[in-house]
Structures are given as C-alpha cells and as structure tokens.
Structure 1
Amino acid sequence: MKSIELFAGAGGLGMGVSRAGFTPEAVIEWDRWCCDTIRENRTDGLGLVGDWPEPIEGDVRSVDFRAHEGKIDLVTGGPPCQPFSLGGKHRAHLDSRDMWPEAVRAVRETKPRAFIFENVKGLTRETFATYFSHIVLQMTYPELVAESDEGWESHLRRLEKHHTGRRGPRGLEYRVVPRSLNAANYGIPQRRERVIFVGFRADLDIKWAFPLETHSLEALLWDQENGDYWDRHKVRNADRKVGDRHSERAARLDVKPKTAPWRTTRDAIGDLPDPEHESRKAANHNNHRFQPGARSYPGHTGSPLDEPAKTLKAGVHGVPGGENMLLRPDGSVRYFTVRESARLQTFPDNFRFHGAWSETMRQLGNAVPVELANIIARSVKRHLTLGGSDFLK
C-alpha cells in the first residue's frame, strides 16, 4: 500500500507506518537537520527508511499533491504542534506555524483511503476546544474550503451547518476518530500523551476503533511487588523502590492484572553501558555519549529508572530546562544520551541521528514513538485490506 508522509521530522511516525506495510511515495519535511537524519539512514540500508524516496526539503505549502490523486492509501503526519504545546505561546489558529490547513489540503488533493495525524495533548485543552472542532470538521469535509476572506470561526459555522443539514451527494467525506493516547499503555517505555486522528473515507464504510490498551501501571506495580521485575534486572534489595506515590495503589492490588506491565526506563536502557563511567564501552553504540551539565530543580527532576520515562521534550522547556534526564536510585541525575532517548522513543538501535546533541534531542522530543505509530498503522492497514467487518479489532 502507498502512503505520503507530511511533517516527517526524524521519521518516527513514518517508520512505524512503513513497518506496518505502507510504502511512502513522498516524504516532506522543512527542517534540514531532520532531512539529513533521514538521508543518512536511507543510504546505509540498515534502518527502516531504506525504501523511502529522497525527502522533499521545504515548505509543505509549496508542494502540489494533485499528481497523487487516487493513488494513495494513507496520508500521515504531525502538523507542527507549537501553537498548541504547553511549551509554546498557545496562539493556535493565529500562529503562522499552524499547519493543519495544509494537512487538510493534502487529503483534499490526494483523496487517500485513510489518514493518520497526530499532535500534542495540549490541543485537547478547553482553551482550544472550538478550534479542535474546526480541525475535526475540516478533516471530515476537506472539500469545504475556507474562502479567502473567511475567518476560521465563520468557516467553522459553515462546516457545522453542512454537517447537520447536508442532503444529496456528499462529495469527499471522512469518518474521523480522535483519541488522546498515553504511549505507556501500549508498551512504550515513556508516559507520552498525544492526540491521534484517524480517518477513513466514508464511501469505504469501514468500522474502526483504536486498538485496545495492552499495558498498565497496575500490572507494573504487581510485577514489582509480586513478580520477578527486580530479579530480572538483577537489582539489589536496597535499590528496590516501587515509589511512594504509587504505594497505596499497589497495596490495593489483590489480583494479578490481565494487561502487561508498563515498560520502564530500566527495561528500555538497562543493558546499555553507563556513558559517564563506561565511556569506552558506550562508544560502541550509536549516539551514546555522555552530556554533562544536568541538574535537578523543582519541576525538572528527571525520570526514575523503574517507571516509564517522563515525556521527552524539545525546546526551552525540554533540553535547556533539564527535564530530559535520568534520575538514578541514589538521587543523582544525568542527561539521557541520544541513544537512550531513541530507545525511549522505540527507534531501532541502528538508526543514527544527525546533528549536535541539542539538535538531535529536539528531533527526538518532537517525534512519535515508532512502535505506537506501528500499532495504529497496522490496525488501519488491516481494515483497509479486509474491510470494516465487526470481527476486526
């Protein structure tokens, strides 16, 4: 099946989609460092982007998608999230970086059978509720385009009237399902909450729901209290800490949960050599180099080893702010290396990042976990292949 990847970044979403069986016909990204990362991994033949075309480096607003009309099964991407991020200025539709209209245009011009878009959880905040509705209705009716002199609120009203009063031929229409997901609940070793929008073209009549969650905090607590978590990781008794903030929750558990345990930071990076004290061994791993200068202060305390990592971040509230850190059992902190961060985002170990530490951490902080993307894309592909039968999950 064929796809188009918009706002590709370092390739997390697109790689998960490719692993699900989609072949990208076009990959668009404006940032040169991200494009360099994709190019480097295309040429070595080791990563998941070996069959990707040369990325189109530039502004998506200058790309004409009409040549792909009717030839694409899936359009995916993460429109720039700064307008909605907690670390941004919260301007939403007033922000020139809001690329949702371009995502809708790509759908309108290619008419794919389905799409997957993602954004930060901040998009679901009450402040943006009305604009959230505008996004969903634009994706539902991508041919109902705003006029040149029409503000977004007037466009929303027209979309609402069309949605409630449509008669006769519908034109291009999608059935859109948005959901806020915590990546940890799908086996990602990071508490990363994102909003995912999945849409299927209405004429396909596909019945779809998000995949069931497979992992839980309760199962992790059970594994740490009653299972073999500590023995599996060869952790001595003195360092076995479930965490005071979860102690009451753990005490209430009297039956083993049916889900799998949340994956922890230790699960993800425990087999890597310490980059600070084992630098020679660490040098044998791609992008695994110690970065000095980490410090803890209120609001920036790092990620405990035996829980999923906190959300990796990009920008002034991420790397310079000091949140992308490991919190050791003895209370000390250090920055995650690029390789450790890539593990937390479920990038493969043979995937190399281009640029300085701060630049590559920005790429990772903006990425979608590869495995989360793959889980969703596999479900979408299964339904596109077999149709919308109720037996599909």
Structure 2
Amino acid sequence: MTEQPLRVIEICAGAGGQALGLEKAGFEHELAIELDENAVNTLRHNRPGWKVVQGDVADPNVWNPADYAPGLDRRPVDLLAGGVPCPPFTIAGKQLGATDERDLFAWAVEQVKVVQPRALLLENVRGLSMPRFAGYRQHVLDRLREFGYAAEWRLLQASQYGVAQLRPRFVLVAMAPDDFAHFYWPEPVGEPPTVGEVLLPLVSANGWKGAEDWAEKANAIAPTVVGGSKKHGGADLGPTRAKRAWAEMGVDALGVANHAPGPDDEFPVGPKLTCEMVARIQGWNDDEFQWAFTGKKTSTYRQIGNAFPPPVAKALGVAIAAALNRTVERQERDPDREHDEIYRVLRKSGDFMTAAQIARALKRTLELHELERRISLLGRDFHIDISNGKAATAYKLGQFKAFLGQDDHIRHDQFDLHRSKIS
C-alpha cells in the first residue's frame, strides 16, 4: 500500500466536475488541460494552486505526454483521466465517430502507452455503448491489452450516485491486471433525490409563494441536462423530449433564468432554472461539492451542462484508489468481454476473408445480411478493403480512421477550421 498521495493528470477537464470528484476521492491534480477559455478560468478560480493549461490537448506545444512518463527520478502518474468530447458519439448527432475532428477518445488511449499511468478513466455519452461503435470499443480494448492493461466498459447512471438526474455515462477504466483484480465498480447509493427536493431552497430564495407546491409537483429526477455546443444558440435544457419532461415537473426549459422567482410570480408552465439550479441538478452543492463558475450566463450554463457530475466522479475515484492501494480484496474476473467478434477475426487474420472463412473462425453460422451490416458499421471507423472475386466477396480490415496523433491526419485542418465552434 502506497503512503504517497495519488496523482492525476486530467485531459479535457472542462469546468471541473470530474476534477472536483477526483479531488474528493483523494487524488491530487498534477496537471489539468482544457480548450475552452471560460472553463479554464473557472478551474483557476476554484483551484489557483493547480497547474491548468489552456489549449488543444493533442497539440504537443500545449503539453508533451512524454514529460509525464515514469523515469529514474519520477514515479508513474497514478491516474490519467478525462471526459473527451462527446459529439462524435452522441445519439442526437451524426455519430461520425473516428471521422469527427472532435474525436479524441482513441488518441487519449494511445497516450497510455506514453504516460504509462497506473490507471485510466475516460467517460463519454451513452451513444458510445451502442452497436454502431462495437468495433471502435473493441479496438480500444485490444490496444490497451497490447499496452499491458486490463480494461472494462460500464454504463453508469448518475441517479444511482445521489444525483437528481438520469444522465447515463459510458465509462472506461483500465489498470495493470494485478491492480484491476482489486477494482470494483462503485455500488449505487440508494434512491436519488427529486428535482423538487434539491431545488426547493434555491427556488424559494426570493420568497416565491408557489415554491412548496412547485416542489411537490417536481417529484421526479431530471432528464439529462444538455450543455450544447458553440455551434448552436443560447442555453436551454435540452431537445424537445427533454423539454416535455421538464414541463411535466413544472419547469420552463426554453432558456435559463437570471434569478429565482419573486414572491408573486406566476408562470404558464413553471419557472425557468438558473445556472445555480442546474449546477445543483448536476451534483454541485453547498456542502461537499462547492464550486463557483466564471463567465457570462450562456458560457456558465454550457460549463455546467457539459460536465461530469462530481458525485459520480468521486465514486469512481474512490473505487480506483481502493484498487491501486489494494484496500479491497482481490476478485477473480475476466474483463475481456468481446464487443465485436467480426472486427477481432479480421484483425487477427490481417488478410482478406470471405463470409465462409469468417463464419468458420467464429465457429457459428453467419448470415450474409448480418455480415454486411457489421462490415458497413466497421467501415465508418476503419478502412475496409473489399475484393469481389469470382467465387465470393472477401473483406480485409484496414487502418483505423481515428486521429491517433498522426502529423498528416485530416483532424488538424478540420480542427483549425472549426476551432472557434468546438466545445
């Protein structure tokens, strides 16, 4: 068991939701990197003693991962963590995955080989858990195995960790196998508070007479708060379905308020929420998870809405720290759950394979329509060579399309072109 503090490097740190949760779990930030200036200002305002760097995390002029690799006078960083951009995987978007210039998930995984952290924690949206990205997920697991790590994905609901919001997040945790044997996914903590319970003190702050009745109506957890991006307009609480769910709880989701309701205010639907209220729904509070946000209202809302809820980050941080410190018993586990068997067969072969050859390798019947569907999905993230021979069509898995740090990748030009709109 180590007596030294656990150190974390956090990439794509945002406004500090994950950072605060990890700090509460006992991690000390060695470095935090974030692109958005407003989020950087928030981080520096709350933790002036941290080293916070602004810029594109994949730009070697911003930071050099090799500087944090273990050496003769430097022990390994305990945790490499981050919430890399979610638009490449979100269900509401185009799900461009590896071909989206904002995608940094695969790049972040490659940094494990360089930094050699004792543990990795990456989180993203639920869309990454869908069949569309099975090959992408398999590539990530296989790469981590090549680097000497055991890894596992898990879909977590923020509401299971005391957050008054559903907010599913798809989480990847990786460690050396001996440490990973001591890792347990955090257990749910019980029923989440309702929106009314969490927000009543804030909604009634200016003496609104309807606050108690409103809180009784808002007796459910919130839909997922959507921070949005710089590509779109001002702040509101999400797409049409989410707005309907908010309306059923008596919340006007068509914008964000500047202040709590006054004593005699009346509303056709209900009050709009302030940024402070949205932060409460994300898990920040006046007790354990205190935090202040800097910037104007729209920027502040985006910082809050795009964040990883601090209580969820703390629960994961506690579980990772317990594994690294060996304070929990070892368990027998096989984290190598297969996500895309066809990807694996083609990758292992390295050559052209017909449907019949793939089926034999899988040791099961493979319908042609199933193979074609899987090849089509793989082709969105990987180059697929197709040979239309006289006897049968054959397929060969080519290069991953994702940005992994290549100097000549299209990501550089696209990122520079859209930099002002990337968030």
The two structures have a TM-score, normalised by structure 2, of 0.62
Of 151, 167, 179, the residue aligned with 1:192 is 167
Query: Residue type of the partner of 1:38?
Result: L
Determine the C-alpha separation between the residues in 2 that align with 1:190 and 1:61: 32
For 1:39-118, list aligned pairs within 5 A: 39-43=44-48, 51-53=49-51, 55-62=52-59, 63-70=63-70, 71-118=76-123
Q: Contact (CA 8 Å) 2:11, 2:82: kept in 1 or not?
A: yes
What is the CA-CA distance between 1:372 and the residue it aligns to? 0.7
Query: What root-mean-square deviation, in Å, do the aligned CA atoms of Structure 1 and Structure 2 show?
Result: 2.7
What is the CA-CA distance between 1:267 and the residue it aligns to? 2.1
Tell me the secondary structure at the aligned position of residue 32 of structure 2: strand
Of 7-16 and 359-368, the range deviating more from structure 2: 359-368
Q: Contact (CA 8 Å) 1:80, 1:97: kept in 2 or not?
A: yes
Give yes or no for the alignment of 1:307 onto 2:220: yes
Determine the C-alpha separation between the residues in 1 that align with 2:292 and 2:98: 35
Determine the C-alpha separation between the residues in 1 that align with 2:217 and 2:143: 41
Q: Contact (CA 8 Å) 1:60, 1:102: kept in 2 or not?
A: no
Give yes or no for the alignment of 1:319 onto 2:324: no
Q: Contact (CA 8 Å) 2:84, 2:123: kept in 1 or not?
A: yes
Query: Residue type of the partner of 2:144?
Result: M
For 1:166-315, list aligned pairs within 5 A: 172-202=147-177, 204=179, 206-215=181-190, 261-274=191-204, 305-315=218-228
Determine the C-alpha separation between the residues in 2 that align with 1:320 and 1:207: 39
What is the CA-CA distance between 1:354 and the residue it aligns to? 1.8
Tell me the secondary structure at the aligned position of residue 271 of structure 2: strand
Determine the C-alpha separation between the residues in 2 that align with 1:22 and 1:4: 10
Determine the C-alpha separation between the residues in 2 that align with 1:101 and 1:391: 29
Determine the C-alpha separation between the residues in 1 that align with 2:18 and 2:280: 15
Of 96-105 and 118-127, the range deviating more from structure 2: 96-105
Determine the C-alpha separation between the residues in 2 that align with 1:209 and 1:69: 26
Q: Contact (CA 8 Å) 1:65, 1:106: kept in 2 or not?
A: yes
Structure 2 gaps, min length 5: 1-5, 71-75, 210-215, 252-266, 333-423
Q: Which residue of 2 aligns with 1:348?
A: 285
Query: Residue type of the partner of 1:268?
Result: V
Of 24, 29, 38, the residue aligned with 2:34 is 29
Q: Which residue of 1 aligns with 2:318?
A: 378
For residues 321 and 117 of structure 1, do their structure 2 counterparts lie closer, same or farther at Cα, with a shift above 3 Å needed? Answer: closer
Structure 1 gaps, min length 5: 44-50, 142-171, 216-260, 280-302
Determine the C-alpha separation between the residues in 2 that align with 1:380 and 1:86: 29
Structure 1 residues 304-335: Cα deviation after superposition (integer angstroms, max 9, x where no partner): 61111111002259727564756329971333
Q: Contact (CA 8 Å) 2:182, 2:322: kept in 1 or not?
A: no
Give yes or no for the alignment of 1:366 onto 2:306: yes
Q: Contact (CA 8 Å) 1:186, 1:213: kept in 2 or not?
A: yes
Structure 1 residues 52-104: Cα deviation after superposition (integer angstroms, max 9, x where no partner): 22x11001112211121123001110111100012322100110110013311
Determine the C-alpha separation between the residues in 1 that align with 2:327 and 2:202: 43
Of 128, 137, 145, the residue aligned with 2:142 is 137
Q: Which residue of 2 aligns with 1:234?
A: none
What is the CA-CA distance between 1:4 and the residue it aligns to? 0.3
Of 349-358 and 16-25, the range deviating more from structure 2: 349-358
Q: Percentage identity across aligned positions?
A: 30
Q: How many corresponding residue pairs?
A: 286
